[in-house]
Structure 1
Amino acid sequence: MTGPATGPMAGRVCLVTGAGGDMGRVIVTELARRGATVVLVCRSMQAARALRDQVSAATGNADVHPLAADLSDQRAIRELAAAFREQHEHLHVLVNNAGAHFHQRRLSTDGIELHLAVNHLSWFLLTNLLLDRLIAGAPARVVNVASDAITDTRTYRIGPRRTATIDLDDLQSERAYRPMQAYGNAKLAMVMCGYALARRLNGTGVTVNALHPGIVATAIIADSVPRMLKPVAALARPFMLTPAQGARTAVHLATSPDVAQVSGAFFADQRPRRTPEPSYDIAVQERLWQASAVLTGLADQDHADPHTISGG
C-alpha cells in the first residue's frame, strides 16, 4: 500500500539519472524510503514506469515519478530538463549517476565520443540547465557518481598502471583510444568540472561533491572486461561490492546532515579522499569548463545564470 511521503527527506525533491542501473535502483529506493519526492530517469519510459512501480511498492512512497532520456543525446537532455522544470519549481538533490563504458570508439548523435558524452557532458549539461531550480531549492546538493578510474585506468588492475588525464587538445580520444582510459578521462573531467562548479556555487547553499562507489559488481564493470578476461572477471566478482554497498556513499552525500556544509570534495567509502594532484589545477579546470560549455552549446545561448556558464 502506498501513500503520501513521510520521513526525514519528506518535501525534498530528488532527481536521479541512471536510475535503471544496478546502483541507480538502490539509490532511488533509499531516497524514496526516506520520504523524498523521487524523479527517476531511465533510458525508456517503459523501464522508468516499471521501476517507479517497484520502488513505490517496496517503500510505500507514492511520490515517485518517471522520466526518460537517452543521456548521450543533448537534445534529449534538454527535453528532460524541460520536463522536470514543468513539474517542479525546486530541486533539492541531483544525483548524476548515469554512466557507460564502450569497447569501441563510437560517436553520439551529436558527434561526440560516447565516453565523454555520457560520463561527463550529460551531467554538465543537465546540471547547468537545472541550476536555477537547485538554487531555488537551497540548501541543495549535486552528487556526481565518478570512479577511481581517475587514478587507475587498468582493467582489473592488469598491466602497467595508467592514470586518467585531461588532454584539452584531445578530449575525444581521437589520437589514441583505449576504452578504460577514455572512461577514466571522462570521469576525471566530471570531477574537475565539479570542483569548478562548487566554486561557482559558493554562497548559494548548493553543494557539489563527487564519489567513487567502490569496485561494484555492476553492468559497467562487466562490460569493461575484454572477452579473453571474462573467466578472470568471474573469479573476481565474489570479492566486489554489491550494488547496495556501492550506493552507500551516494546516499550518504545525498541525505546525511554530516556533509550538509561540505562542497568541492571527493568521497570514497563515505569519507573524503584526495584526487590526483593535477585535478586541483584551477587553470585546467577553467579551460575544461569552457570546452565543456562549447561542446554542450551552453557557451552560445542565454541561460538562467549566464554568470555560472561563463565563469565570469
Structure 2
Amino acid sequence: MAILSPSKKVVLITGATDGLGLEAAKKYLKAGFIVVITGRNKQKTQKAVKNIKVSTGDTDDELRYILLDLASLTSVRRAVQDFLTLSLPLHVLVNNAGTTTKTREFTEDTQLVEKTLAVNFVGPLLLTELLLPKLRESAPSRILNVTSSLHEPNPKIPGIPTNFDLDNLDGSKQWEFMYAYKNSKLAVIWHTYLLSERLKGSGVAVNCFCPGFVPGTNLNRDAPFLTRFVVKNFMGKLKSAVTIEKATDDYLLYGSNTELEGVTGKYFRDGKESSSSADSYNLEKGKKVWNVACDIAGLDDTKY
C-alpha cells in the first residue's frame, strides 16, 4: 500500500477510546501521523492514550487528545476550539464515533430528531463544518465518515425498515433501535455525497465507508440486553464477521493511500469502492435531512 509522506500529517479520530477508533489510532501513529483522539470521559480518554503509547512505543509526543461528546452541541463547539489551540494542521478527519440506545431518547439540544440520529449524524455534521476552514487550509485533506451496510434495505432482518421516513425523524411514529441506527447511517452517506459536491475543487475529499460487521466493538453497549448477549456470544462466529484488526486496516487505507488522492464522494466497503443503497442517491431527500441538522446546530448559512 502506497502511503502519503508521514511527515507531520495529522489525523483526528473521534470515538477512539476503544474498539475501532482505538485500534485505528494505533495504526495511524505507527504509520507516522500525529494523532489526535477524542473521548467523552477524561479518565477513560487518558487511559486510552496510555494504551496507545504503550502499544506503539510512541515516545515523540505525537499523540494528543481532546474531549468530545457528540450528544452535546456545546461539547462539539468546545472540542473544535480545543483542537485549534493545538496549532496543528488537519489532513484526515475520521468521523468514527457513534451510538445506539436501548430506548427512544433525546439529546439536551433537540427533540426534532431522536438521539441516535443526533449523535451519529447531527453532531458529526457540526464538527465537520466547524473544522472545514482547517481542512481547507491543510489541503490536500480527507474526511472519512464511518457508515454501515445496514443502511441498505434488508426486509429479511426483523426491525430494519426499507424506507427512511422524513416524518419520523423523532421516532414518534415508529422507533426501534436498529431502525434508528440504520437511518442514522443512511444520513451519514447523504452527508458524504452532499458535502463532497460542495467541496469540489477545494482539495478536501469526502468519502464514507462500512468497516464490516465487527462484533468486537463496544457500539452495542447501550443496545437491549438480548442484542448484546447474541452479538457477544454468537455473532462473532459468523463467517461475515470481521476482526477489529482487519477492519482498521481500511481506516488507514482510506486516509493514506496515495491512489485515493482526490477521490471524493464515494462509498467504500471491503477496501474498494462500492455502491450504496438506492435511497442514498436521493439527494433531494438528503438535503431535507441536512437542513434539519442545520436547524438543530444553528448552521443557517449552510442550508439548502
Per the normalisation by structure 2, the TM-score is 0.90
Match of 1:52 among 49, 74, 78: 49
AA of the residue aligned to 1:219: N
SS at the partner of 1:184?
helix
- 1:237 matched to 2:236? The reply is yes
Q: Residue 153 of structure 2 contacts residue 277 of structure 2 at CA under 8 Å; is this kept in 1? A: no
Specify the alignment match of 1:310 in structure 2.
303
Specify the alignment match of 2:30 in structure 1.
33
Q: Residue 145 of structure 1 contacts residue 250 of structure 1 at CA under 8 Å; is this kept in 2? A: no
Alignment RMSD (CA, Å): 2.1
AA of the residue aligned to 1:57: V
Q: Which has the higher contact order (CA 8 A, sep 6+)?
A: 2
Query: Where does 1:148-297 land on structure 2 (aligned, <5 Å)?
Result: 148-152=149-153, 158-159=157-158, 162-163=161-162, 165-217=163-215, 218-221=217-220, 224=223, 226-227=225-226, 230-231=229-230, 234-239=233-238, 240-297=241-298
Structure 1 position 169, deviation (Å): 2.5
Equivalents in 2 of 1:160, 1:175: separation in Å? 14
Query: Where does 1:104-143 land on structure 2 (aligned, <5 Å)?
Result: 104-112=103-111, 113-143=114-144
Equivalents in 1 of 2:263, 2:22: separation in Å? 25
Q: Residue 249 of structure 1 contacts residue 267 of structure 1 at CA under 8 Å; is this kept in 2? A: no
Equivalents in 2 of 1:116, 1:282: separation in Å? 18
AA of the residue aligned to 1:123: P
Q: Residue 77 of structure 1 contacts residue 125 of structure 1 at CA under 8 Å; is this kept in 2? A: yes
Distance 1:114 1:153, change over 3 A: farther
Structure 1 position 162, deviation (Å): 3.3
Equivalents in 2 of 1:244, 1:50: separation in Å? 20
AA of the residue aligned to 2:92: V
Structure 1 position 286, deviation (Å): 2.0
Structure 1 position 60, deviation (Å): 3.2
Structure 1 position 238, deviation (Å): 2.5
Structure 2: 5+ residue runs without aligned partners? none
Equivalents in 2 of 1:228, 1:198: separation in Å? 35
Equivalents in 1 of 2:86, 2:219: separation in Å? 31
Structure 1 position 255, deviation (Å): 1.1
AA of the residue aligned to 1:44: N
Q: Percent identity?
A: 29
Number of equivalenced pairs: 294
Per the normalisation by structure 1, the TM-score is 0.88
